[in-house]
Structure 1
Amino acid sequence: MSKIAVLGAGSWGTALSIVLADNGHDVRLWTHNEVQEENINETHKNEKYLEIMIPEKIIAYSNMKEAISNTDAIVLVVPTKAIREVCQELNSIMTHKPILIHASKGIEPNTFKRVSEMIAEEMNLYSYEDIVVLSGPSHAEEVAMRQPTTVTVASLTSDYAKHAQDLFFNESFRVYTSDDLLGIELGGALKNIIALGAGISDGLGYGDNAKAALITRGLAEITRLGTSLGANPLSFLGLPGVGDLIVTCTSVHSRNWRAGNLLGKGFKLNEVLEQMEMVVEGVRTAKAAYKFAEKEDVDMPITNGIYHVLFHDKQPKEVVEQLMNRTKKEELDDIYHMFKQE
């Protein structure tokens, strides 16, 4: 079996560590927090993030060099705002080249870089073609409880994607492969914005009709941006696209839905983030996607509205009214445009 370092001991990093440990791998779970390291190793729990026992074979480390020593694979699961800092530290201590898989979802504001692009920029040993992304509808709480889950791993190098598939695949965690790294990353990042919108809708007291419309039209604008950048439109109909969008927009496990729900109930963004106590990736991604859409001249009205709720104190009901009163359109024309093959 393989020696694997999982960098990031939040809920998702912990859940993926459990999958790998169940598969018999030697798993080192890295955290920057020494107290968290001690608690995990002494109690085999990570109670701030998951209420579940962690297999004893998972060993926590706060020393990154020790965590990655002689590893066959590194799984990067830190918030997108920490990707560059962690990769810079990793780059300074790397003496070998294990397969590198990331499971983070987001876009960097200002640069509009995806996680794989940030990693490739910061790591001397890795090019963009070396990196694997893992994404799909996968709440950490359910994965940790070994409930049936399906995800996709994508890389431009098919052997790396298949290797990652082999590491994670088991009876409760089914893994598909893809070569559309761009589409898989964009789907995983942009769905968090729409999940904020779904939470806002519920917070306002709207029903299932509104949420279904939001999810469907949200998928349309995610696909518009993705295809304009060269992604395969069919990727957005897969697990990291519509699958992840559905689960993130409809579950109370979703941080982004919970944050949106509080916004819909009238809380300000700073109040919401204080209550959440964990990273809400959709907030940062909304800023990046709003500017990215402007740059690419792509119509993303839902993202636009959520951006103004988050950063310009626009009232959610006002955004809903504007969305409902937009210029009349033919739905199939929009769909044909999205799936038009160049």
Structure 2
Amino acid sequence: MNEKPDKAQRERIAILGGGTWGCTLAVLLDRRAHEVRIWDFDPKVVESLLETRVPAKLPHLELPETVAISNDLAEVADGATVIVLVVPSVGMRTTAKALREARPDDGTLLYVICTKGLDKNTYQTMSQVVLEVLGESVRER
């Protein structure tokens, strides 16, 4: 169960959201030998993570040096095979729109939505928001 993937199985994973949940997922995925990159919209969060490698609200968790951290969404999403969305629900629509511009979907991306809650204006689930913004084709993967 702790086997690491060989290079053919290794994924390039973009985690969108540098909070406690995003950082926890980054550590777990890094331990599985995937290439992990974290993006956060807040430059202060990115600066803190780059400086300390420790999330502010999770002082016992340290991000490995192999986890890349950036405020540049295009850089983080470039070449990704998996996009993990872990942003707060209030920012999901904005993040999905920015992602659509930064990394046009070529039909190969897998999206994993780890955000709970509903859109405060439309009452849509996060999956519905992502489908609306990125298009129905993402449903087929």
Matched to 2:58, the amino acid is L
Aligned length: 129
How many angstroms apart in 1 are the aligned matches of 2:40 and 2:47?
10
Question: Does the alignment pair 1:28 with 2:37?
Answer: yes
The answer as to whether partners of 1:2 and 1:26 remain within 8 angstroms in 2 is yes
* Shift, 1:39, TM fit: 2.5
Larger Rg: 1
Among 49, 59, 70, the residue aligned to 2:68: 59
* Shift, 1:110, TM fit: 4.4
Among 34, 57, 72, the residue aligned to 2:81: 72
Partner of 2:49, secondary structure, is: helix
* Shift, 1:33, TM fit: 2.1
* Shift, 1:19, TM fit: 0.6
Q: Which residue of 2 aligns with 1:335?
A: none
Structure ranking higher in helix proportion:
1
Task: Map 1:217-256 to 2 at 5 A.
Answer: none
Partner of 1:66, secondary structure, is: helix
Partner of 2:13, secondary structure, is: strand
Task: Map 1:1-342 to 2 at 5 A.
Answer: 1-46=10-55, 48-51=56-59, 52-95=61-104, 96=106, 97-124=108-135, 126-130=137-141
Q: Which has the higher contact order (CA 8 A, sep 6+)?
A: 2
Partner of 2:99, secondary structure, is: helix
The answer as to whether partners of 1:84 and 1:118 remain within 8 angstroms in 2 is yes
How many angstroms apart in 1 are the aligned matches of 2:68 and 2:121?
37
Q: TM-score, normalised by structure 1?
A: 0.36
How many angstroms apart in 1 are the aligned matches of 2:120 and 2:45?
30
Q: Which residue of 1 aligns with 2:5?
A: none
How many angstroms apart in 2 are the aligned matches of 1:109 and 1:43?
34
* Deviation by residue 1:289-329 (Cα, 9 ceiling, x = unmatched): xxxxxxxxxxxxxxxxxxxxxxxxxxxxxxxxxxxxxxxxx
* Shift, 1:45, TM fit: 1.4
* Deviation by residue 1:210-251 (Cα, 9 ceiling, x = unmatched): xxxxxxxxxxxxxxxxxxxxxxxxxxxxxxxxxxxxxxxxxx
* Shift, 1:125, TM fit: 7.1
* Shift, 1:79, TM fit: 0.9
How many angstroms apart in 1 are the aligned matches of 2:77 and 2:54?
22
Q: TM-score, normalised by structure 2?
A: 0.83
The answer as to whether partners of 2:111 and 2:138 remain within 8 angstroms in 1 is no
How many angstroms apart in 2 are the aligned matches of 1:57 and 1:116?
30
* Shift, 1:109, TM fit: 3.3
Partner of 1:107, secondary structure, is: coil
CA RMSD of aligned residues (A): 1.6
How many angstroms apart in 2 are the aligned matches of 1:29 and 1:37?
9
Identity within the alignment, %: 27
How many angstroms apart in 2 are the aligned matches of 1:4 and 1:126?
20
How many angstroms apart in 2 are the aligned matches of 1:121 and 1:26?
28
How many angstroms apart in 2 are the aligned matches of 1:26 and 1:61?
14
In structure 1, stretches of 5+ residues that fail to align are 131-342
Alpha carbons of structure 1 residues 128 and 57: separation in structure 2 relative to 1, 3 Å: same
Matched to 2:126, the amino acid is V
How many angstroms apart in 1 are the aligned matches of 2:74 and 2:17?
14
The answer as to whether partners of 2:37 and 2:69 remain within 8 angstroms in 1 is yes
Partner of 1:27, secondary structure, is: strand
How many angstroms apart in 1 are the aligned matches of 2:33 and 2:126?
28
Alpha carbons of structure 1 residues 36 and 107: separation in structure 2 relative to 1, 3 Å: closer
